[in-house]
A and B are shown apart, each in its own frame.
Chain A
């Protein structure tokens, strides 16, 4: 009976058995890279929208406040996507005939919603509340980035749990005075993280102290 395997198979099998460790580790490493990559996290990936709405123009150019359209951001878990009516408040007067806005006008005519593509999409088992973050002074920019520079929206953060928890453990660098929360400009003096008994730490406002911030890291804060 002839040999099924050539003697070289001995070497190959040895190499593959010992190599398996590295191969598995390598596969794991590749998966990890994939998980962190913008392919998976969609960071920096521009999402096409049914209407080419430019935050760059409306926020950066015209200086419209976030809350003009995202009306419920201070009172609800959901920031609110503007109803077509809000678009039409201006666009029945300005650019009223622009072909780019036909989808908006059609929506207003027919009563059908504009199907915006969600850019910041958390898993359904995560319960995020905008209102408390705004109330405690986390600026829009902390999670959504320089929206005023985005013609179409993209994500600037991974929205991974690690990223949420990092901030919940140390919120101070992301806190702003109330009047800066909706501002797109950099808060010039990020407050230090050092806890101190005084409300002024290192000569700067200690907003964690002032606002009595105890951002929880209990699972049930977000998962329920």
Chain B
């Protein structure tokens, strides 16, 4: 089905103002698009039209059906084929077959590692969870950490050392490298390019390398690095320091284009701390968040007040705010319209009323001038030392990435590079186009690429070394706050991978050392005499005790906020500012071949499998552009044609393109998706390109957006209120209908033992998607591909529905995790002709795959649209390495069966069995302690928005949440009695902006 070219969407919106619905999801719906209405009338949009008549007509189809039925029947006459059991020859100590083991490790990232606990089933890691002892995790994870286990088993990973694409040996490679080193005395012409790293072992090796080859050059480059943050810290505070925020202590937070809840090394911890001040379980007054941003981000969605500004307006705002706060030497920027001025003064007075208990967070990509101003503001507010502390950056560098890369390119062009070692970086893909890095790279006498994939850069390097995944490596890494952790392997390298430490050791050490010995050697000194005990404690806990660096108290430079030239706004109103931001799902492109992340709907666009030109509704309307229109985007002499996507709430005068797409050698998943937005990046590594032009091409290309799937037809699914309204009358936050469900024809069933239920606090959910990937990893959920997503056949058991409230130019956004509601009076159960979906006596709505014959009646009858059907054989059961990935506790579903959230019944069963075993002697009823049993989504959630437990236990968290007046069941007025309930989203708006 295609959208008509002349959809009346925005024209209608612009026309006669009509009353807006309270909540809406897509602009088509808001405008009353007839196409949208037609789709609503179909229960299964597009399912009927899928049969391709050219493959086989109806007659032929019936013939084939008959034949396959007969064959299947004949096959059923034989007994199942014999199966072999392959026991160990020597069973490892501490291993019980069938019982998973858990190991603490850490996932290194250049902006700070996150501590994880990885589950190992018979030696193969299948799942990562957060490590509750690690400060960056506190038991939770983000989507990227959850998806990292898929990258481990990615069949496209590089498997051998290669020379010119042909398999070679490690020995050959060492010969070549040593030859190059021998002809380069003191390392002349030896260059190493690597992303900044937080690993103390790597830092030690780097120092050793420079000591051995004093002329060698080490270049640190990261496409989404902290160059601007570094310059701002040096300008404002006199030294390179990294702020660490204490959101749990902040009453008022202002985020200036900072998605601190979902991006950056500390995001998981920050989300936890920030959200601990919201929701039912928080005590004391809720915090208030102001967000200024260009594109809509999860932080903007969590904000109580959001102001959309184009990038060039950020500095003016920061200057005006600094002036109001009383930062000396700052003049207020030229005042603008009334709403803006009102917003500004409200924020300024709110911040001043909470001196020492507020935080202003700048996006680390913002120009150094804005970030300097923010340092001055936080200082003036007395926040430094209270809610904002500083440490030496865990991945500190003395040269910024853009200059480092330019230096390397210049050296290459000057033919002065004898040996270039590219460690885990892909500059051919992600360097600014103006550098022409790919051309320069050919000048290197010997170029060696080290990485997980044979990517774009590997293609141009004669030599390639496969890297190990972090779950295969010994290493160490520091978190956002500097706390160190040991990275320990869960499995021996699947292929011939080497750790980065082993590669460097081959260059430095006379006898190459294993990475295990190298990491131990690093900590030998710090641990002292207690080495063995402290080493084992570090491995067990996944965090090294007392490794957090000392807090630095820098002094604000008098020049911090003065002497800054106001940045020029884009004077030409015909052109756009082009924002280049890392993709919220796949990041800077490194995760492009991860199917889970590709199919993950991005938080505020619900776009999967590609990037698009995101633009404001008003701009789109001015240019006559609709979502799915292919536009031509021109900027800095580069141009691209790509589909546009209208993003409600996007700032006018600017467009956003996510980085990370347009990969040409990512692998079978990531190659050829979307377009490469790095081409527009200015050579100085900035995030904004000016002077972008957009023109309609007249073509259309349908984006795989899930935002239009599972329409809610205007029903009361979301409830939102203000803190003040709730305080005045707690009952008023829900409509009366929610308390009076329709009578049910189904009998009441008592639940005497456990009664599992879930409560989701909408005030705490920010839409970070960690739960979606956690569910996918836990429950062996397949990906389906872009074409199938377009047909609304994505398989996610748990999805995040996005609702808007208000005008499309400036709406509020609300995320709602939607999963099987486990209705006590479940409409799906009564229509199943084969009893494949039934109810358990603990209140679970069960799905028995081996019984399901695929009528889809249950899905048809489900008011929540949470049942997912395997229309095709989505699970790859052929690729050998992917078999290692599956969770053995959950059936792998094949084509033709319905599936859905089970409340992680495999975890419930294990907990129940353990409880029964411990109670067997006493004969007492089994007890499962509240909190000891967590669903995968709950465990991953950074903000603890999802709470699961026994609703029969009045002391359980879930029972307490369900007793709150904010608790409601979605569509409970239908009498379905859902076990999953939601808590009304409470906003805490500033009365001055009311």
- On A, residues with C-beta under 8 Å from B are 31, 34, 39-42, 47, 71-72, 75-78, 80-85, 107-108, 111-118, 121, 123-125, 127, 129, 131-132, 135-136, 209-212, 214, 216, 218-221, 223-224
Distance (whole angstroms) from the CB of A87 to the closest CB of chain B: 10
B889 in contact (CB, < 8 A): yes
What's the Cα separation between A123 and B96 when bound, in Å? 22
- Quick check: B98 and A72 within 8 Å, CB to CB? yes
Residues of chain B within 8 A (CB-CB) of A41 are 79
Q: Point out the residues of chain B lying under 8 angstroms from A76, CB to CB.
A: 96-99
In the assembled complex, B72 has its CB within 8 A of some CB on chain A: no
Q: Show 19 residue pairs from A and B whose CB-CB distance is below 8 angstroms, ordered by the A residue.
A: A31-B77, A72-B98, A72-B99, A80-B98, A107-B89, A111-B90, A115-B85, A121-B83, A127-B889, A129-B913, A132-B917, A135-B920, A218-B844, A219-B838, A219-B846, A220-B840, A220-B908, A220-B909, A223-B846
Known: A114-B86, A115-B86. 10 other contacts (CB 8 A): A34-B77, A42-B79, A75-B96, A75-B99, A83-B89, A83-B90, A111-B90, A113-B88, A223-B851, A223-B891
Would B913 and A211 count as touching, CB distance under 8 A? no
**Interface code B919-934, partner A: CB below 8 Å = 1, 0 otherwise?**
1100111100000000
Query: What separation, in Å, do the CA atoms of A39 and B861 have in the docked complex?
Result: 42
Q: List, in ascending order, chain B residues with CB within 8 A of A77's CB.
A: 98-99
The majority secondary structure among interface residues of chain A is: loop
Known contacts being A123-B80, A136-B916, is A85 close to B890, with CB within 8 Å? no
Query: Which residue of A114, A129, A218 contacts B840 across the interface (Cβ within 8 Å)?
Result: A218
| Total inter-chain residue pairs, C-beta < 8 Å | 141
Find out whether the CB atom of A118 lies under 8 angstroms from the CB atom of B84. Answer: yes
- The interface residues of chain A lying within 8 Å CB-to-CB of B920 are 135-136, 211-212
Beta-carbon nearest neighbor of B89 in chain A: A84
Check if B572 is an interface residue, CB within 8 A of chain A: no
Is B731 interfacial (CB 8 A cutoff)?
no
Asked if B902 is an interface residue, CB under 8 A from chain A, the answer is: yes
Which of B77, B84, B99, B909 is the one whose CB lies under 8 Å from A221?
B909
CB proximity of A182 to chain B, nearest CB, Å: 16
Give every chain B residue within 8 A of A210 (Cβ-Cβ).
923
- A4 CA to B807 CA, complexed, in Å: 79
Chain A CB within 10 Å, residue with most, of B86, B753, B892, B902: B86
B282, CB-defined interface residue at 8 Å: no
Q: Is B54 positioned at the interface, with any CB of A under 8 Å from its CB?
A: no
Task: Please give, as numbers and ranges, the residues of chain A lying within 8 Å of B902 by CB-CB distance.
Answer: 220, 224
Query: How far is the CB of A118 from the nearest CB of chain B, in Å?
Result: 4
Against A, the Cβ 8 Å flags (1 = close, 0 = not) of B497-516 are 00000000000000000000
> What residues of B have a CB within 8 angstroms of the CB of A131 in the complex?
913, 917
A83 to B86, CA, bound (A): 9
Q: Is B407 an interface residue (CB 8 A)?
A: no
Nearest CB in chain B to that of A82: its residue? B87
Q: Which A residues are CB-close (under 8 A) to B844?
A: 218, 220
Of A114, A123, A218, which is in contact with the most chain B CB atoms at under 10 Å from its CB? Answer: A218
Closest Cβ–Cβ distance, residue A39 to chain B (whole Å)? 7
A115/B84 in contact, CB under 8 A: yes
Within 8 A of A (CB), among B855-910: 889-892, 902, 905-906, 908-909
Bound state CA distance, A42 and B80, in angstroms?
10
> Closest residue of chain B to A110, judged by CB?
B89
Residue numbers of B with Cβ under 8 A of A are 77-80, 82-91, 96-99, 753, 838, 840-842, 844, 846, 848-851, 889-892, 902, 905-906, 908-909, 913, 916-917, 919-920, 923-926
Of all chain A residues, which has the CB nearest B893?
A125
Q: Tell me how far the C-beta of B778 lies from the nearest C-beta in chain A, rounded to whole angstroms.
A: 11
Set of chain B residues within 8 Å of A124, measured between Cβ atoms? 891-892
A19 to chain B, nearest CB (A): 21
Instruction: Name A69's closest neighbour in chain B (CB-CB).
Output: B87
Is A125 in contact with B891, judged by CB distance below 8 angstroms? Answer: yes
Which chain B residues border A47 with CB–CB below 8 Å? 82
Specify which chain B residues have a CB less than 8 angstroms from the CB of A218 in the assembled complex.
Answer: 838, 840-842, 844, 846
Q: Which residues of the other chain, A, contact B91 by a CB distance below 8 angstroms? A: 83, 85
With A78-B97, A116-B87, A136-B916 already in contact, the answer to whether A224 and B891 are too (CB < 8 A) is yes
Chain A residue nearest in CB terms to B83: A118
CB of B79 within 8 A of CB of A216, answer: no
Residues of A within 8 A of B99 (CB): 72, 75-77
Q: Name the B residues within 8 Å of A40 (CB-CB).
A: 77-79
Q: Which residues of B contact A219 (CB under 8 A)?
A: 838, 840, 846, 848, 851
Please state if A80 and B97 are interface contacts (CB–CB under 8 Å): yes
Shortest B277–chain A CB gap in Å is: 37
Contacts of B77 in A (CB 8 A): 31, 34, 40
* Cβ B841 vs Cβ A85 within 8 A: no
User: A113 and B86: CB pair below 8 A?
Assistant: yes
| A131→B841 CA distance, assembly (Å) | 22
B96 touches A81 (CB 8 A): no
Q: Are A224 and B87 in contact (CB under 8 A)?
A: no
Q: Which of A71, A81, A111 contacts B85 (CB 8 A)?
A: A81
- Residues of chain B within 8 A (CB-CB) of A34 are 77
* Contact, CB under 8 Å: B846 / A220: yes
Which residue on B lies nearest to A130, using beta carbons?
B98
A82 to B913, CA, bound (A): 24
**Which residue of B has the minimal Cβ distance to A129?**
B913
Known: A135-B920, A212-B923, A219-B840. A113 touches B850 (CB 8 A): no
Residues of B within 8 A of A118 (CB): 82-85
Residues of A within 8 A of B87 (CB): 80-84, 113-114, 116
A219 CA to B847 CA, complexed, in Å? 8
A197 CB to nearest chain B CB (Å):
14
B917 touches A72 (CB 8 A): no
Indicate which residue in B98, B850, B889, B916 contacts A135 across the interface (CB closer than 8 Å).
Answer: B916
Docked Cα-Cα span, A124 to B850, in Å, equals: 10
| A72/B96 in contact, CB under 8 A | yes
Q: How distant is the Cα of A77 from the Cα of B98 in the complex, in angstroms?
A: 6
- Does A212 contact B83, Cβ atoms closer than 8 Å? no
How many Å lie between the Cα of A209 and that of B924 in the bound state? 10
Q: Are A135 and B917 in contact (CB under 8 A)?
A: yes
Which of A34, A116, A125 lies at the interface centre, i.e. has the most chain B CB atoms within 10 A of its CB? A125
Residues of B within 8 A of A136 (CB): 916, 920
Please give me the residue from chain B that is nearest to A38 by CB atom. Answer: B79
From B80, B90, B923, contact of A84 by CB (8 A): B90
The residue on B at minimum CB distance from A135 is: B917
Contact of A113 among B89, B909, B917 (CB under 8 A): B89
Given the known A-B contacts A131-B913, A136-B916, are A117 and B88 also in contact in the complex, defined by CB atoms under 8 Å? Answer: no
Closest residue of A by beta carbon distance from B890? A224
